[in-house]
Amino acid sequence: MKAEDVKVFGVVGAGQMGHGIAQVAAMSGLKVILNDIKMELAQRGYDNIAKILSRNVDKGKMTVEEKEAVLSKIELSSDLKDMASADYVVEAATENEQIKFQIFRDLDEICPEHTILATNTSSIPIGRIAAQTKRPDRVIGMHFMNPVPVMKLVEVIRALTTSDETFQVTWDLALKFGKTPAEASDYPGFIANRILMPMINEAIYCLYEGVGTREAIDTVMKLGMNHPMGPLALADLIGLDTCLAIMETLYEGFKDPKYRPCPLLRRYVEAGWLGRKTGKGFYEYE
């Protein structure tokens, strides 16, 4: 199989990452099946895509006709069995190992033999996910960055079992979507989050230990290191529950104390202060 043989592209999970992936796939001309556990969640993802495209129309980046053409390529689903018609599926569900394992076991039963199953996991080793299926050669990591329509990077992570064909199709699809792929080896966190998350975790430790205020910490990293966003604001954007899940995966995977999640991060997650999506994290949001 080659990238041009992929006609139907499935996305499991219509949240922030999932609907972004669905958008770039539809904009590349593919038919997209956007799935979530409830139709209202899939519809919410679709509505978010429509809002983003409408803003692009207002800015003169696309026409109304182009917007409608993209939206017409997206089919909504609340039944995983709809992925039976997909040539390539990306899972973008919650960063929870057992949830992902079950999705891959189900997809393995539902999808045709040729279908490639990819995961957008931020940190869980691809080999562990591939081992849940009878097609480990056709399982791969395709890790998009947030927000998906804007960020150019896609990490492509192959397990030991991933075939060269699966890798090449994934690489070429990333290019088709207008992204820049980078290959990462299959270790917890890959490249992006193995570097990024300990930095965010250390920023939280600085707040926890009183080294600086949230504003001071973020200002130092923005103005001193030329980061577009401070690490605490970035953690709120990512979701503090996701940050904690990734740090726990790193800590479990490497057994190295440098990956121990900051107790303040855990307290915030336990309090339900998850960042932008709940209206409160290190900062407050409307």
Same domain, 100 and 217: no
The three-state secondary structure class of 19 is helix
Q: How far apart are CA 226 and CA 161, in angstroms?
A: 39
Same domain, 90 and 207: no
- Is 96 known to sit in a ligand binding site? no
Identify the segments of the chain with pLDDT beneath 50: none
Domain that holds residue 18: 3-185
Q: Is 255 annotated as a binding residue?
A: no
On whether residue 283 sits in a domain, the answer given is no
Residues 30 and 171 in one domain: yes
Q: What is the dihedral of CA 230, 233, 238, 241, to 10 degrees?
A: 120
Q: Report pLDDT for 173.
A: 98
Task: Give the CATH number of the domain where residue 240 resides.
Answer: 1.10.1040.10
- Residue 246 neighbours by CB under 8 Å, 6+ apart: 95, 122, 123, 189, 193, 197
What distances in angstroms separate CA 3 from CA 22, 73, 143, one per listed residue?
Answer: 16, 18, 17
Per DSSP, helices labelled H in the chain are: 16-27, 39-58, 64-72, 97-110, 126-130, 164-176, 192-208, 214-219, 231-238, 240-254, 263-270
Q: Is residue 101 part of a domain?
A: yes
Token couple for 97: 């190992």
* Same domain, residue pair 19 and 65: yes
Q: Which residues are catalytic?
A: 122, 143, 155, 193
Ligand-binding site membership of 36 (annotated): yes
Say if residue 78 carries a ligand binding annotation: no
pLDDT for position 286: 86
